[in-house]
Structure 1
Amino acid sequence: METPILLFDDKMDKATKKILENVIKRKKKFDKYKQRHNLAIWGTFILAFIYINYLYFTIAKVYSYSFAAMFSAFVQDSNNLIFLFITIGMYGWMNLLKEKMDKAEKEFHELRCEIVERSKDLWGTEEEWKNRHVVFEQMKKIFDINLYHQKK
């Protein structure tokens, strides 16, 4: 279990701790995919920029007098095909990470909303109910998970 959750021994039962641990895992998974997706976006843009500059300086600028000459030079240079496949592959990987990130966000959001909806059941006793704001504040402060309401 996460260390901050272990500190809440008197404020909740084991089932609630397990649910909070699961929401923390899903938040970390979502954050991981979000970071990877952002890196893939930047990688795709940088790769596309380099490829377009390569095409401009090796083909478009040199053979600008004729489209047929540009096309012929493009087809003859095998580096163009390699750069094109790498750029398209990076774009596909970026889209795959976007799908995984969306799925992880949906799972995280659904579990977080379930905690918000079932908070009366999870903090059943009067003492636990009075101390739940401490747990919510720590979850917000440490893990950036808002359990006060269902809005994102």
Structure 2
Amino acid sequence: METPIKMLDDKTDETTKQMLQSVVKRKRKFDRFKFRHLIVMWLTICFAFLYLLYLYESVLQPYSYSFASMFSAFVSNSVNFYCLVFVFGTYGLMNLLREKREKAEKEFHALRCEIIDKSKDLWKKEQEWKSRHLVFEMMKKNYDINLYHENK
């Protein structure tokens, strides 16, 4: 369990601490997929741009007088096949990571909203209810998790 969450001694009970730990874990998972998706997206864009530049220099410019000669030059060079497979592979990986990022975001947002909805049950005692804003501030400051409102 995270140290700041452990230090919430009298402000929350163990169940609430476990829920807070779980929302932190899901936030980190979402951030990890978000970063991976961004990196692969930019790699896909760069590789596609470089490949199109290569095609322009090696196939389109020298053989622009005839489509048949362009097609023949494209097919005869095996590098084109490998580059095409690589660009489409990174595009597929980008889409896969986007789906995983969206799934992780939904899980994170659902758990965050559940904590917000059940806040009256999680902080039942009056002393806990009055110190609830300290827990929310700690989560916002340390983990960038907003528990004040359901909106993102």
Aligned position for 1:134: 134
Q: How far did residue 28 of structure 1 move?
A: 0.2
Q: How far did residue 149 of structure 1 move?
A: 1.1
Aligned partner letter, 2:52: I
Aligned partner letter, 1:136: F
Q: How far did residue 108 of structure 1 move?
A: 0.3
Q: How far did residue 11 of structure 1 move?
A: 0.5
Aligned partner letter, 1:69: S
1:36 aligns with 2:36: yes
4+ runs deviating over 3 angstroms? none
Distance 2:125 2:10 in 1: 11
Aligned position for 2:66: 66
**For residues 65-93 of structure 1, what are the alpha-carbon distances to aligned partners after superposition, in whole Å with 9 as ceiling and x for unaligned?**
11111000000000000000000000000
Q: How far did residue 7 of structure 1 move?
A: 1.2
Aligned position for 2:26: 26
Q: How far did residue 6 of structure 1 move?
A: 1.0
Distance 1:129 1:117 in 2: 14
Aligned ranges 1:68-87 → 2 under 5 Å: 68-87=68-87
Aligned position for 1:149: 149
> Please, which runs of 5 or more residues in structure 2 have no aligned partner?
none
Q: How far did residue 63 of structure 1 move?
A: 0.5
Q: How far did residue 10 of structure 1 move?
A: 1.2
Q: TM-score, normalised by structure 2?
A: 0.99
Aligned partner letter, 1:128: E
**For residues 36-89 of structure 1, what are the alpha-carbon distances to aligned partners after superposition, in whole Å with 9 as ceiling and x for unaligned?**
000011000000011001100000011111111100000000000000000000
Aligned position for 1:93: 93
How many residues were matched structurally? 152
> Please, which runs of 5 or more residues in structure 1 have no aligned partner?
none
Task: Please tell me the root mean square deviation across aligned C-alpha atoms, in Å.
Answer: 0.4
Aligned partner letter, 1:58: S
Q: Percent identity?
A: 59
Aligned position for 1:110: 110
Distance 1:150 1:87 in 2: 39
